[in-house]
C-alpha cells in the first residue's frame, strides 16, 4: 500500500508536482526541479512507498525508466483517457498536477506501456521514414504544380522511369525559371534518396535479439502491401521486400503469390481504398491489421 502519491506536470523547463498524503489526504502543490537526477532524488526523499504519475508527451519515457530503476512505481498516463468535466476549460500546470494525483489515488488512470530504449529507437526510425515520405509527397507536388503553371502535364503514369526521364530532359528558355525548375527536381531526388535509405535501414536492421527491428520491418511491409496475407517467417518477408525495394516498384506479394490489384482508371492516388494504419509510437504500438481470408 502506497503512502505517498505524486502527480507530475512535466515540461521541458518546469515541473509541477501534486503530492497527496495517503494517511491524511492532504494535497500539496509545488514546483520541483526539472533536472532528471535531482527530480528522482526529490521523489526518493518523500515518505515511502511512493507512486508517481505523469502524462505521456514530448518529454518521453526517461523519467519513468529512471524511477523504475530506483524502485519507484511510475504510471505514464494516456492523456486522451483522462476524464475532464464538461465545463472545465481552464488548464494550468498546477491544476493538472492536482487532477493527476487524485485520479492516481482513485486508480482511474489508464497507463501506456513504457517502451525499452531499443523499441523507442525503432519507433524514431519509423517516424523518420514517415516524415521523409511526407516530404517527398510535398516535393513532388511542388514540382508538378510548377510545370502545370506553364502548361506542361504528363498524361501517363507519374513518377516512373519514363516520367523522370521526361523531367530530366525538359529545359526552359528563361534562366530564372530553369534555375527554379532544377532546384525543384534536385529537392525531389534528394528527399527520395532519404526515403529509400530509411526503407532499407528499417528492413535490413533485423538482427536485434528482441526482434524490435523485425517488427518495424513488418509495420513498413504492411503499410506498403496492405492486400497481402503476411504469414510465415520474417526472413522470407524481408527478403521479398528487399527485392521490391531494389526495383522500387510494387512486386508480387511474398506470401501465397498474391499481387496488389491494378489501379483503376480515373482513380487518383490519394483516393485510397485501404485506410492508412496509425503511426507507431503514439502512446502505444497499434495492433497489426487483420489478415485477409483466403
d(CA 185, CA 290): 39
pLDDT at 289: 52
- May I ask the CATH class of domain 4-106? alpha beta
Q: Over range 212-233, report the average pLDDT.
A: 45
Q: Has residue 260 got a pLDDT over 90?
A: no
Work out the pLDDT band at 245, boundaries 50, 70, 90. Answer: low
Q: Has residue 288 got a pLDDT over 90?
A: no
Q: How far is CA 251 from CA 20, 126, 231, 243, in A?
A: 59, 22, 17, 8
Q: Has residue 163 got a pLDDT over 90?
A: yes
pLDDT at 272: 44
- What does DSSP say about strands 27-32 and 15-21: parallel, antiparallel, or unpaired? antiparallel
- What does DSSP say about strands 27-32 and 50-55: parallel, antiparallel, or unpaired? unpaired
Work out the pLDDT band at 199, boundaries 50, 70, 90. Answer: confident
| pLDDT greater at residue 241 or residue 154 | 154
Give the count of beta carbons closer than 10 Å to the beta carbon of residue 153. 8
pTM, 2 dp: 0.64
| pLDDT greater at residue 227 or residue 184 | 184
Structural domain boundaries in the chain: 4-106, 117-247
- Who's near 78: CB < 8 A, 6+ residues apart? 55, 56, 110, 111, 112, 283
Q: Has residue 55 got a pLDDT over 80?
A: yes
pLDDT tens digit sequence for 79-123: 988 887 787 777 788 888 999 999 999 988 999 999 999 888 888
Q: Over range 23-52, report the average pLDDT.
A: 91
Amino acid at each position: 500500500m502506497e503512502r505517498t502519491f505524486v502527480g507530475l506536470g512535466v515540461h521541458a523547463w518546469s515541473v509541477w508536482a501534486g503530492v497527496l498524503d495517503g494517511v491524511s489526504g492532504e494535497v500539496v502543490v509545488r514546483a520541483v526541479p526539472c533536472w532528471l537526477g535531482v527530480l528522482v532524488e526529490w521523489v526518493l526523499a518523500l515518505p515511502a512507498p511512493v507512486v508517481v504519475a505523469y502524462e505521456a508527451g514530448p518529454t518521453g519515457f526517461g523519467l519513468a525508466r529512471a524511477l523504475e530503476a530506483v524502485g519507484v512505481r511510475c504510471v505514464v498516463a494516456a492523456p486522451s483517457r483522462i476524464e475532464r468535466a464538461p465545463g472545465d476549460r481552464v488548464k494550468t500546470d498546477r491544476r493538472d498536477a492536482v487532477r493527476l494525483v487524485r485520479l492516481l489515488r482513485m486508480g482511474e488512470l489508464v497507463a501506456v506501456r513504457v517502451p525499452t530504449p531499443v523499441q523507442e529507437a525503432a519507433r524514431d526510425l519509423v517516424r523518420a521514414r514517415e516524415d521523409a515520405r511526407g516530404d517527398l509527397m510535398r516535393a513532388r507536388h511542388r514540382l508538378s504544380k510548377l510545370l502545370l503553371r506553364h502548361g506542361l502535364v504528363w498524361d501517363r503514369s507519374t513518377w516512373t522511369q519514363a516520367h523522370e526521364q521526361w523531367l530530366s530532359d525538359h529545359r526552359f528558355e528563361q534562366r530564372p525559371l530553369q534555375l527554379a525548375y532544377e532546384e525543384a527536381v534536385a529537392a525531389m531526388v534528394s528527399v527520395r534518396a532519404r526515403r529509400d535509405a530509411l526503407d532499407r535501414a528499417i528492413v535490413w536492421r533485423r538482427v536485434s535479439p528482441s526482434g524490435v527491428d523485425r517488427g518495424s520491418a513488418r509495420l513498413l511491409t504492411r503499410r506498403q502491401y496492405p492486400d497481402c496475407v503476411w504469414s510465415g517467417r520474417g526472413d522470407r518477408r524481408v527478403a521479398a521486400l528487399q527485392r521490391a525495394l531494389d526495383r522500387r516498384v510494387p512486386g508480387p506479394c511474398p506470401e501465397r503469390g498474391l499481387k496488389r490489384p491494378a489501379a483503376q482508371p480515373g482513380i487518383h492516388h490519394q483516393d485510397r481504398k485501404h485506410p492508412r494504419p496509425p503511426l507507431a509510437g503514439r502512446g502505444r504500438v497499434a495492433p497489426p491489421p487483420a489478415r485477409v481470408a483466403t
